[in-house]
């Protein structure tokens, strides 16, 4: 019996050391149960967007897109200066001297980025201008077009019969039009996006976040469609 308790004690010591090692050395990598990492993963599961005016400010301060992604990979969250009490949650992330706000609007697929030089109560989802995408979740089937015959026909008209072609264009030159986006619509906000079709024409589309996909339910074409 003495040898059993001795082995158990050694096991407990080893387990404790292992837990401490995992916590301190891997907390920013694989421990998704940690509060910081749960929030950062929630942000990275969305498309990251920077409104045009904020994009200019970031550029003036010399903040690169790669630094924004890095703060999500290895930065920390200041929960005291964040606001998770409202529908559109806002979190302050920081690493060294870089501090940024990230929004998490309810039922939305975007997270907006703002320089953290103001109070969190002043941070709200944009309602004017356009925003550029700087990051998409690593999901090949992220974009889905409603299976209505008219939309399928219009996909043929713009030369993008495959949904993956639209996603590729969004990554290359896509944007979100905040003026035509409405975060207040229930049960899900409507996001208005733009991308280039196979002929380089600018295509508009109304979208919602449904079943973890950017779902297009209406195209806004710059030409008269023959689809019914």
Interaxial angle between packed helices 65-74 and 35-44, expressed in degrees from 0 to 180 and rounded to the nearest 10? 150
89 found inside a domain: yes
Number of neighbours of residue 208 by Cβ within 10 angstroms: 19
- Residues 67 and 108 occupy one common structural domain: yes
Q: Indicate whether 112 and 188 sit together in one domain.
A: no
Kindly state the average pLDDT of the residues 178-183. 98
For tokens 């920077």, the residue is 50
* 118, 151: one domain: no
In a domain, 76, yes or no: yes
Question: Which tokens go with 43?
Answer: 């942000």
Same domain, 82 and 163: no
Helix, strand counts (H, E) of the chain: 6, 11
Identify whether 10 is part of a domain. Answer: no
Q: Residues 84, 152: one domain?
A: no
Distance CA 75, CA 28 (A): 8
Q: Which helix (H) or strand (E) holds 181?
A: none
Selection from 202, 194, 198 nearest residue 160 by Cα: 198
- Structure letter (DSSP) for residue 140: T
Structure-block tokens of residue 151: 């939309």
- Examine residue 9 and state whether it is found in any structural domain, yes or no: no
Q: Which residue has the higher pLDDT, 220 or 4?
A: 220
Nearest to 134 by CA among 12, 49, 55: 49
The predicted-structure confidence for 53-69, as pLDDT tens digits, reads as follows: 999 999 999 999 999 99
Among 125, 154, 181, the domain boundary falls at 125
Residue 146 covered by a domain: yes
Q: Give the Cβ contact number of residue 206 at 10 Å.
A: 17
Same domain, 76 and 113: yes
| Side-chain half-sphere exposure of 171, counting CA atoms within 13 A | 14
Residue 134 lies in a domain: no
Domain limits for position 143: 139-220
CATH of the domain at 110: 3.30.2310
pLDDT score for 217: 98
- Please indicate, yes or no, if residue 159 is contained in any of the structural domains: yes
Q: Decide if pLDDT at 95 tops 60.
A: yes
State whether 107 and 143 are in the same domain. no
Query: What pLDDT is recorded for position 26?
Result: 43
33, containing H or E segment: none
Is residue 111 assigned to a domain? yes
| 125, 158, 181 - which closes a domain | 125
Average of per-residue pLDDT across 146-159: 97
Question: Given 125, 159, 185, which residue is the final one in a domain?
Answer: 125
> How far from 45 is each of 2, 48, 138, 203, 226, CA to CA, in Å?
51, 9, 8, 25, 37
pLDDT tens digit sequence for 184-217: 999 999 999 999 999 999 999 999 999 999 999 9
Number of structural domains found in the chain: 2
Question: Is pLDDT at 149 greater than 70 in this prediction?
Answer: yes
Pairing state between β 89-95 and 98-104: antiparallel
């Amino acid at each position: 019996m003495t040898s059993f308790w001795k082995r158990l004690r050694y096991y407990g010591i080893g387990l404790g050391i292992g837990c401490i090692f995992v916590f301190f050395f891997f907390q920013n990598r694989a421990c998704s149960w940690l509060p910081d990492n749960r929030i950062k993963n929630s942000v990275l599961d969305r498309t990251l967007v920077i409104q045009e005016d904020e994009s200019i400010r970031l550029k003036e301060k010399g903040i690169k897109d790669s630094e924004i992604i890095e703060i999500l990979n290895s930065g920390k969250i200041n929960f005291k200066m964040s606001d998770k009490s409202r529908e559109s949650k806002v979190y302050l992330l920081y690493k060294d001297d870089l501090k940024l706000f990230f929004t998490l609007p309810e039922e939305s697929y975007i997270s907006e980025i703002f320089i953290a030089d103001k109070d969190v109560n002043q941070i709200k989802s944009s309602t004017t201008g356009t925003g550029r995408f700087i990051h998409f979740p690593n999901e090949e089937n992220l974009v889905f077009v409603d299976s209505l015959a008219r939309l399928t026909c219009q996909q043929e008209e713009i030369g993008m019969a495959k949904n993956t072609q639209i996603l590729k264009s969004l990554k290359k030159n896509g944007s979100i039009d905040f003026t035509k986006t409405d975060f207040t619509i229930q049960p899900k906000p409507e996001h208005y996006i733009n991308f280039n079709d196979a002929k380089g024409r600018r295509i508009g589309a109304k979208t919602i976040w449904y079943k973890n996909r950017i779902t297009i339910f209406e195209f806004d074409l710059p030409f008269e469609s023959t689809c019914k």
